Amino acid sequence: METRAPIDLARGMLMASFHPTAEQAWHLLVTASQHSNSKLREIADALLRTADGRTPLPESLAGHVATAVRSHTGPAS
C-alpha cells in the first residue's frame, strides 16, 4: 500500500501533462516499467522528482516513458 500513493500521483502527472485516460496512464507506467526493466514504483518516483521543473527524468527512463506515452495516447492533437 505504501507504493500506491506515488504511483497514483505519477498517473495524475501523466494525465495532466499528456491527457491519457486513467487506464491509459496506468498502462503507460506498466509499459515503461516493463521496457526499462524497472519497478513501476521506480518509474513513479522518478516522475515525481521531475515535478519541481528543474529535475530531469533520468535518461535511462526518459526514452521508455516517451515511447509509452506515444503508444498509449495516440497522435498529438
Domain around 16: 4-73
Whole-number Å distance between alpha carbons of 22 and 58: 24
Whole-number Å distance between alpha carbons of 18 and 50: 15
Whole-number Å distance between alpha carbons of 45 and 65: 13
The segments of the chain whose pLDDT lies below 70 read: 1-2, 74-77
Q: How many domains does the chain have?
A: 1
Instruction: Please tell me the predicted confidence (pLDDT) of residue 36.
Output: 95
Instruction: Please tell me the predicted confidence (pLDDT) of residue 77.
Output: 43
Dig out the grid coordinates for 16 from the structure.
Answer: 495532466
